Structure formats: structure tokens, C-alpha cells
Structure 1
Amino acid sequence: MSTTECTKFSFTTQDGARLHYRDTGSGKAVILLHGWGASGEFFEPQMALAAQGLRLIVPDQRGHGASQDARQPLSVGLLAADLRALIAHLGLDNYSLVGWSMGAMIAWEHLRETGLAALDKLSVIDMTAKIVTDDEWAHGLAGGYPAAQVAQTAAAVRADWRRYAKLSAARLFARGAAPDPALLARLTAIMRGNAAEGLAQLWTDMARQDYRALLPTLGERCQYIYGAESRLYHPATFAHLARLTGTTQTNGIAGAGHLPQWEQTQAFSATLSRHLWGQV
């Protein structure tokens, strides 16, 4: 089901969880997957793209936003299974995926499980294939993020998520720029509305993931959009990921950090639209 105006729906998964999603516009189906600790509202500026003949489907992933029914420990695999359930519920046989931050991992996990037959385009937004760094992999979180720090992060989330959410929200914005106070407050409030335990579980599982072997199968159908001033990842990471993927589709958004869809909405949306329509 799709409408010309943004409408909210929900469906029940096989394990009984009630998950919520937004569905607006008609035409090419595009599923936008938000990041860790966020919600579908983080793609609000892109809803205007529905006027271009796009059907925009934006789930609140389990444990996030309105989809707080986490009946199982949260994991990348579980959220990817929820994505497959949503695709089946909507009867989609061809779609594009837009994965911002953790959302890219959910997209990759889904594609690793199901293959690429139904995939039109994939846009990866400021995310790497492996967040943990080691002697052989420098393209994880900026500044280095060894496996030994994962448990510390999860413990900090469990101990005081309200504080950690505020710090995390501030890190979404570009280096050297002061975020709009009202926007920062709004995004912080959205993040604080999510349950700490599920986020700690999910972060721990994210740190186990490594999608490098999948990347060469994607080729030019995959593009990377990143914030040129991201606090989380270096531009060199996306040049490296593009080489692994076999794509020339890399786009750094000037003046943006980890949140280019909000910080530089016009440039981001134009870049996303060109790729979705096959325009280089």
C-alpha cells in the first residue's frame, strides 16, 4: 500500500513483534534504513523526494522509534530478518535500499542472506564494512576502535543512555561546526526514547560484523555518500570501500558530518536521487 501523503503503518512479525513504518509516494520503491539509536524520523528531509516518482518506505527498526517491541535480543541478523518480513508484507519484488550508518549493515546483511536479484540500487551513507579496527584494517571508526573497547561502549550505554545519547547526537554533526541547537535537541530526544539494553546488545553485535567479502558482488549498483567532515569516518575509507566494491560512485558532501541528510539536505538528496534514477 502506498499513498501520495506520508502515512504511518505497522505489521506484525512472525515472532509477534509490532513494527512501524512510513510509506509515502508511488513509483520506484526505496527503503530507507536509519542508524543505531535513531529512528525513521532521521530521514524526514528526504520525504520530499516522493514527488519525483519514488515510493519511500521508512521503517522504525526494532528497538527504535515506535518499534520498541523487542521480543528477542537485538542483533543485525534480527533487524535484517525484519527487513525481509517488511519486503514480503509489502509484496515488493524490486527495490532500492538506502542504509545510513547501521542501516547500511542491515542492508548488507539482508543482501548477504537473500542475494541481489531484487535489488535495484544501494546507497551506503557514511558507514564502513567493519567498524572495529586492527593491525590489518584501519578503515573502521576514526581514531581507531579496537575490539577491547566494544564492551566499554556497551557498558556506557547501559549505565547512562541519556548522557550517551546526547554525546552521540552531537557527534553526528560536522567537525568544526556548531549544530543547530533546536535540531540537536530534537534528535537527542528521539535517541533518548530508545531502550538502552537493546541498543547495547545491538552495538555489541554490530562490532562483530564484517561485510568486506560481500562488497565485490555489488559493483556500480552501489554508491557511497559520506560527510566530508564526518567525525566517525575518514574520506579515505570510502575510496577504499569503493575499490573493494568495484564502483566509481563515491560522493563526499562538503560541510556535512555523519548526518548529511540533515546537514546538507539539498546536496544529499540530489546525490541520492541521481543514483536512484541511474544518472551519473
Structure 2
Amino acid sequence: MTTNQEEIVVNDTHQLADRTVRRIGFGAMQLPGPGVLGPPKDRHEALAVLRRTLDLGVNHIDTAQFYGPNVANELIREALYPYPPDLALVSKVGARRNGAGAWLPAQAPSDLRADVEENLRSLGVDHLTAVNLRRHEVDGKHDVPLEDQLAEMAALRDEGKIAGIGLSTVTVEQLDFALSTTAIACVQNAFSLVDQSDTPVLERCLAEGIPYVPYFPLGSAFPHMPKVMEQVVVKEVASERAISPAQVGLAWLLARSANVLLIPGTSSVAHLEENLAVQAIALSPADLSRLNGL
């Protein structure tokens, strides 16, 4: 993984609410069964993945009570409790699952409070580093005013149950409105080499010093949507550097903006180790120029 051109060196850490975290963390969404529903296919491996994250220096884990539901948090608690004092546990609220696995909105302030408290209970803590409010449309519109949701999240912060308020799936206008009412600890939106439509939100976060945590960092998980690893130039850079196409896509994100935090998820120890090795991969200006050409 050497080059005769100057390499782009990225910062290793970033502030996230009341914690300083490494820029590559771990997302727990893939720990439950297929469709983020039910128990893992291999419980022993899922627990091993979580324990290995700490061995490799991860101190930022992203989860949600509705992953499973009631699966990801339970695995995290079994594998890692009592937690290291520097571990940032981040969750999200705004949705629930029904018995068939459908994603249902849970947007009322009372829903947000109940689900924060359920996350605290299942993880066995009295405080979360941040909780992301995932905005969820019903019939193409938001039924609950963002102002009311933020007021409830701020109350939870004032009570010490969360250190920071995050937002997920928001526009730059919604982010600006939120910033006019309270401090925002992080934003989670879709962003990748093949989908940079959220650039205005990313740039607004950068200007405000807010961590930006992309989901779908390797392209959409939905069928027939662009995937980073399928792009010819990504495969070429990966081959030249003897790394994987996925590592190219993740390394590009770290180099894209200093406020990007990654939370790649997996249910495999080997895949986890591959993801976390990205921290040591430095892309050259020529690499970035070719990739940006996409």
C-alpha cells in the first residue's frame, strides 16, 4: 500500500458530544438476522465481533433498540458490559418494528422519550453519548413538528439521559432549523462515492464542526441501485493498492471531509478487521482525483 505520490493523511479522532472517538466506529445494524430481524445466524460470531471491536480500538458503537428488534442492544450488553469508560454508545429513535418486521414511525415526543428510556434499559446504562432522531415521513409528510421533537430531545439531554442530540435523514433546511433551537451533536444521512446528493448537509455540518456519519457508505443496500464496489475506477485503485474495493470507498469518505465518522457494520470478524484497517490507508491526490471523477 505504498505510492510514489504524496498521500492524504486523515485525522484519527473527532469530538462526538461528550466523547472523543476514533473516526471509524462500528454499526450494529447487521448483527441481528436477515432484514435486521430476529436473532443472529451465528450468535457466537456476533459476540466475537463486538469483543473484537474493542480489541481493535473502537470506541464508538452505533445501535438502536429496533434493530432486531431487541437484539442488537442485548448482544452489545452481553459482549461488552461493563463498558469501557471511553466507549461512546449512540442510538436512534423515531421508528419501531412490527411482528412482520415492517418499519413503523414512532415520531411523537412521548414515543421518543419511551424509546430513549428503552435503549438505556436494554444497554444497562443511564446515559448515552448521543441519540439520533430519525425523521420518518408518513404519506409523504411529517406529522409531528420538528420543533416539538427537538424540545423533547433537549429535555432528555437536560435530564442527563443523553449527552447529545443527533439527527438522521434530514435536509439542510431542517438542520438549519434545528441549529436555531439547540445544539446538534451529529447528523446521519446517506452519502457515498456514488451518491453525493447530500453534500449541502455535509458541508453545513463541516462549517459547524458537527460530525457527519454517512449511512449507505458503500452505496444503497437496495437492489438495482449504484454500489461503490461495482465501479471500474474503484476496482482499479483497489487492485493497484492491493486493498479491497470496500476499503477504497471507506478511505475516500475519510479523506472527503474531516468531520466524517464511519460506522461500517458486519457480522464477521474478518470483515470487521478489513473495515478497521481503512484507518491506515492513505489515498494519494491522484487516487482521489480519479475517484472524484465518478
Task: State the TM-score, normalized to the length of structure 1.
Answer: 0.35
Task: State the TM-score, normalized to the length of structure 2.
Answer: 0.34
Higher relative contact order (CA 8 A, sep 6+): 2
Structure with higher Rg: it is 2
